[in-house]
């Protein structure tokens, strides 16, 4: 029988850059020509947002934000090292990176022999973008998992090689951040791509809104898989791998609500109250709240990436576990709420 560790982290892209650029998404959102005049300067922002921004454009807050992330990332890495897995299954979103107009599967297991990718430009490690990192895949486990999920009623797509991109940032950043101290990353991975961005994965290319020519309703794509379906997918994944011979980490890699997806907040700050309600349910093992979460609420609160965590909570429910350690890290100015977990 297999052994399983469950973990959750963020792949927050600005963490790969210097502190002084961490608030760049907010600065981009302030250029929105439809932004109400009162929000164009800090004087019109909520008091807590002004406090985080401070008198240094968020530089001091960025340092603290990074430090909190690194404490938790190192904690997750230590738990993984102590567990010494045969492989890590990573639920992450593909934001118009590998899956584009040719095909957008609702979810896809990447059964690749290996993954080779480079760091982002202007990164905090001062690594050149042509530096290559190579991480092993685990084809046997990926094929086994795909077959088990199909047998369980989930028509799961699979891939033996990338189409457009060697490894999307939800997966690459997870590795970069778990190896933030550059000790090396010896573990095999199975990227399990989830179409989190749904109606905006092609129309908005899974990224920031285009204010100059926003897509009309008719331009939007079909929706993402529902929270219930992904919760059940995560449960089926845990069940299948618990019956397999490998030591496996099941990991979600994503932020929670994103400012640039939250129209009701003028794309300036995330929906922290909605995130906190889910976090409290997660801490309490109230997985019914997660499974019954409405797909429309996901979009309204800019929580598209939380669909990766739907898979994770389904796995926790199947394994009958609650988090051993967890922390919710909120923000007003750094685009997205984040959560870390080990169970």
pTM, two decimal places: 0.97
Identify the pLDDT of residue 89. 99
- Burial grade of 101 (CB within 10 A; 0-12, 13-18, 19 or more): exposed
The pLDDT assigned to 261 comes to 97
Average pLDDT over the chain, rounded to an integer: 97
Residue 210 has pLDDT above 90, yes or no: no
pLDDT digits (tens, 9 = 90+) for 127-140: 999 999 999 999 99
CATH number of the domain enclosing 103: 3.40.830.10
pLDDT at 259: 98
Examine the pLDDT at 166 and tell me if it is beyond 90.
Answer: yes
How does pLDDT run across 43-58, given as a tens digit for each residue?
999 999 999 999 999 9
Look at strands 107-110 and 87-93 and give their pairing. Answer: unpaired
CB–CB of 302/262 below 8 Å?
yes
pLDDT on residue 1: 79
Burial category of 151 from C-beta neighbours within 10 Å (exposed 0-12, middle 13-18, buried 19 and up)? exposed
Give the pLDDT score at 106: 98
The predicted pLDDT at position 70 comes to 98
Q: Which domain holds residue 333?
A: 3-342
At 336, the pLDDT band (50, 70, 90 cuts) reads very high
Nearest alpha-carbon partner for 59 in 289, 308, 258, 333: 333
Q: In what order do the strands lie in the sheet with 338-342?
A: 157-159, 107-110, 188-194, 87-93, 247-253, 3-9, 338-342, 325-329
Total structural domains within the chain: 1
| 73-83 average pLDDT score | 98
Residue 79 has pLDDT above 90, yes or no: yes
111-134 residues labelled b (16+ CB within 10 A) or e (exposed): bbeebebbbbeebbeebeeeeebe
Q: Which pLDDT band, with edges at 50, 70 and 90, does 206 fall under?
A: confident
pLDDT in tens, 155-165: 999 999 999 99
């Amino acid at each position: 029988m297999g052994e399983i560790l469950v973990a959750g982290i963020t792949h927050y892209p600005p963490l790969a850059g210097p502190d002084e650029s961490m608030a760049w998404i907010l600065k981009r959102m302030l250029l929105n020509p439809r932004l109400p005049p009162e929000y164009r300067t800090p004087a019109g922002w909520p008091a807590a947002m002004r406090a985080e921004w401070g008198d240094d454009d968020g530089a001091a807050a960025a340092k603290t934000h990074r430090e909190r992330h690194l404490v938790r990332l190192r904690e997750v890495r230590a738990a993984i090292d102590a567990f010494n897995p045969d492989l890590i299954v990573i639920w992450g979103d593909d934001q118009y990176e590998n899956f584009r107009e040719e095909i957008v599967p609702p979810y896809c297991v990447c059964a690749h022999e290996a993954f080779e990718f480079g760091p982002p430009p202007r990164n905090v490690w001062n690594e050149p973008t042509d530096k290559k990192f190579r991480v092993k895949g685990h084809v046997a486990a990926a094929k086994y998992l795909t077959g088990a999920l199909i047998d369980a009623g989930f028509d799961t797509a699979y891939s033996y090689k990338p189409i457009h991109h060697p490894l999307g940032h939800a997966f690459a950043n997870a590795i970069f951040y778990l190896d933030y101290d550059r000790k090396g990353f010896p573990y095999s991975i199975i990227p399990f791509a989830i179409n989190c961005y749904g109606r905006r994965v092609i129309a908005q290319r899974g990224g920031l809104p285009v204010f100059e020519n926003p897509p009309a309703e008719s331009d939007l794509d079909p929706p993402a898989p529902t929270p219930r379906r992904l919760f059940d997918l995560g449960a089926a994944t845990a069940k299948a791998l618990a019956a397999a011979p490998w030591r496996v980490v099941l990991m979600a890699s994503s932020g929670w609500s994103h400012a640039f997806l939250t129209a009701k907040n003028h794309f300036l700050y995330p929906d922290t109250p909605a995130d906190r309600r889910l976090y409290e349910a997660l801490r309490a093992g109230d997985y019914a709240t997660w499974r019954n979460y409405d797909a429309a609420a996901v979009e309204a609160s800019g929580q598209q990436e939380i669909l990766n965590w739907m898979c994770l909570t389904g796995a926790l429910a199947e394994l009958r576990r609650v988090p051993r350690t967890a922390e919710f890290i909120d923000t007003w100015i750094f685009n997205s709420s984040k959560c870390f977990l080990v169970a």
